[in-house]
Structure 1
Amino acid sequence: MDWDKLRIFHAVADAGSLTHAGDTLHLSQSAVSRQIRGLEESLSTILFHRHARGLILTEQGELLFDATKAMSRRLDAASARIKDSAEEVFGELKVTTTTGFGTLWLAPRLPALYEKYPDLNIDLMLEERVLDLPMREADVAIRMKEPSQADLIRKRLMTVTMRLYASQSYLDHAGAANVEEDIARHRLICQNPTAFQVAAGAKMTKQLLHDYRPNVLHVNNYFGVLQAVVSGLGIGVLPDYVTEDFPSLVRVVPELESNDVPVYLAYPEELRRSKRIRAFRDFVQDEVIAYRKTMRDGQNALSQVTT
């Protein structure tokens, strides 16, 4: 089977359009069309249904696309290993994590990584959906639970706890919130309990809404919750790591907090020797150690003040 025709077929199937595939491959639409026709003739089958709005794979086309996707992933993995030179760390690294953790914890720390490895290019994918690492949707993941996928190397980094925070300006206006019953008098800012999020946070929010029925503002990620809290809109359900960069936040109803949420770093077994993976893993581990020390020092200072 002609490898060049397979490459062009994969681009067309991925784009759903001869024109868009041609733009990606730097080929004319007619050249792409000839290659697809040639491939269909060599296989004696039709690979695409032609519609005015684009191309749709036939059943046979789906089978071939599955094969070319697997080939593409294996080639990407081989390319990643080849490009990791003996002395340098460079190239693209696809990192996925949740919107909240990626925005509030990871992204502010990336300048230190770029300073050490200026030729490393991070593709940071922030979403709640768990991407498939063995299928190479991403190279490395930081998730709020232990990955269940097989053939992954995983390391527990830290734990996160969901707590209640407010701005001092909000509390000055709306009144203190020292005990659980006070929540009923305030606006609660949180994610919808049915939304895809940290399970411990969803459980805590659901309990608060059931027991105290406060006025509510729902936001679909923790970054949005944080911005609403900082803006003085109410009391927010937030992960404890936000307090490092937002020390002005006031923790309220301190007896209320979620169970510990484990944070794991994971990557495919086949990338074990990747220098980019190793550089990112070591960087994150060092940042976690520094974060733990900062949080510990802050707790010790608070204890001294309260005693």
Structure 2
Amino acid sequence: MDWDHLRVFLAVARQGQLLAAARRLGLNHATVARRLDALEEALGAPLFDRRPAGCVPTEAGERLLPAAERVEAEMLGIAEGFRDAAADVSGTVRIGAPDGLGNYFLAAELGALTALYPDLVVELVPLPRTFSLSRREADLAIVLDRPMEGRLLVSRLIDYTLSVYAARAYLDRHGTPKSVEDLAGHVVVTGVEDLAYASALDYSGVLEKHGRSRFRCASVMGQMEAVRAGAGIGVLHDFAAGRHLEAQGPDALVRILPGIGFRRSYFLLAHPDTAQVRRIAVLRDVLAQRFRAERARFIIP
């Protein structure tokens, strides 16, 4: 069976469209369609129901997918086996992460890797509600909930804390609450519950049930900027809020209500078929090292 044909099949299965698969592979639409036709002819069965809105795998396509992914993993392993151990790390690694961690920590840390590995391309993407490492939607993923099933390599990266914050200007206008009951006179900034993709994001209710009114933002960055702008009081990641504690000006943050705090964990996921691919293994090691080195930023007593 021709590996190029299987490669096209995997791209179409992951992208859902011939044109999107062609862009992903750097091929033209006709070449992708021709190779897919050849694979279907060789197997004697249609692999996709090709509709105007996209390509939906048939039963035969669903059966072929895990086998094609195993072949892909073997091909990656063979390529790595021939690579000189001292050779530069190269290629593309996609890492999915929650938006707060991505924006306030990983963007700077991973961006610095370009100086060490100029031939390595790192793609940092927001973590959707559902994703698949086996479908190569990401090579690595950082999640808030430890997965309880699936064939994955799981390692705890770090614990982190969250506290209650408000902007200095907000407290100057409305006063500083001394207890959770005092929140009855304040606006609270929280996440949007039905858009939360992890059970670990369940801390907003503590403020909401006591606040006078509510302003909800789906993203961690939105909540951070709303609190800094003086919209209200919110629970923020300490590693993200810490840089604004010593700031000057009305948007400087103040940590309040020290009796209210939360502790959560980040877990790193990798697929066992690709975890030892050199570029992915290097990034796993770098992440583990950087989180260990920056532990003090993530845990506030």
Q: Shared fold by TM > 0.5?
A: yes
Aligned length: 294
1:206 paired with 2:210, answer no
Cα-Cα RMSD: 3.3
DSSP-derived class of the 2:89 partner: coil
2-structure distance, mates of 1:273, 1:58: 32
TM-score under structure 1 length normalisation = 0.78
| Counterpart for residue 257 of structure 1 | 261
Give per-residue Cα distances to partners, 1:7-39, cap 9 Å, x unaligned.
44444555555555556463562x655554444
DSSP-derived class of the 2:259 partner: coil
Tell me if the contact between 1:178 and 1:254 (Cα under 8 Å) persists in the aligned partners.
no
DSSP-derived class of the 2:125 partner: strand
The alpha carbon displacement at 1:171 in A equals 1.1
Specify whether residues 279 and 167 from structure 1 end up closer, same or farther in structure 2 by C-alpha distance, changes over 3 A only. Answer: same
| Counterpart for residue 172 of structure 2 | 172
1-structure distance, mates of 2:10, 2:220: 37
DSSP-derived class of the 1:237 partner: strand
Which among 199, 219, 222 is matched to residue 221 of structure 1? 219
| Counterpart for residue 305 of structure 1 | none
1:291 paired with 2:294, answer yes
Aligned-residue identity in percent? 31
| Counterpart for residue 240 of structure 2 | 242
Specify whether residues 57 and 201 from structure 1 end up closer, same or farther in structure 2 by C-alpha distance, changes over 3 A only. Answer: closer
Specify whether residues 215 and 78 from structure 1 end up closer, same or farther in structure 2 by C-alpha distance, changes over 3 A only. Answer: farther
Gaps of 5+ in 2: 246-251
AA partner of residue 93 (structure 1): V
| Counterpart for residue 248 of structure 2 | none
Specify whether residues 123 and 215 from structure 1 end up closer, same or farther in structure 2 by C-alpha distance, changes over 3 A only. Answer: same
Tell me if the contact between 1:164 and 1:237 (Cα under 8 Å) persists in the aligned partners.
yes
The alpha carbon displacement at 1:226 in A equals 0.5
Tell me if the contact between 1:96 and 1:131 (Cα under 8 Å) persists in the aligned partners.
no
The alpha carbon displacement at 1:243 in A equals 2.7
TM-score under structure 2 length normalisation = 0.79
2-structure distance, mates of 1:87, 1:36: 35
| Counterpart for residue 304 of structure 1 | none
Q: Which moved more, 1:91-100 or 1:12-21?
A: 12-21
Gaps of 5+ in 1: 300-307
Higher Cα Rg, which structure? 1
Tell me if the contact between 1:166 and 1:250 (Cα under 8 Å) persists in the aligned partners.
yes
AA partner of residue 101 (structure 2): F
The alpha carbon displacement at 1:128 in A equals 4.6
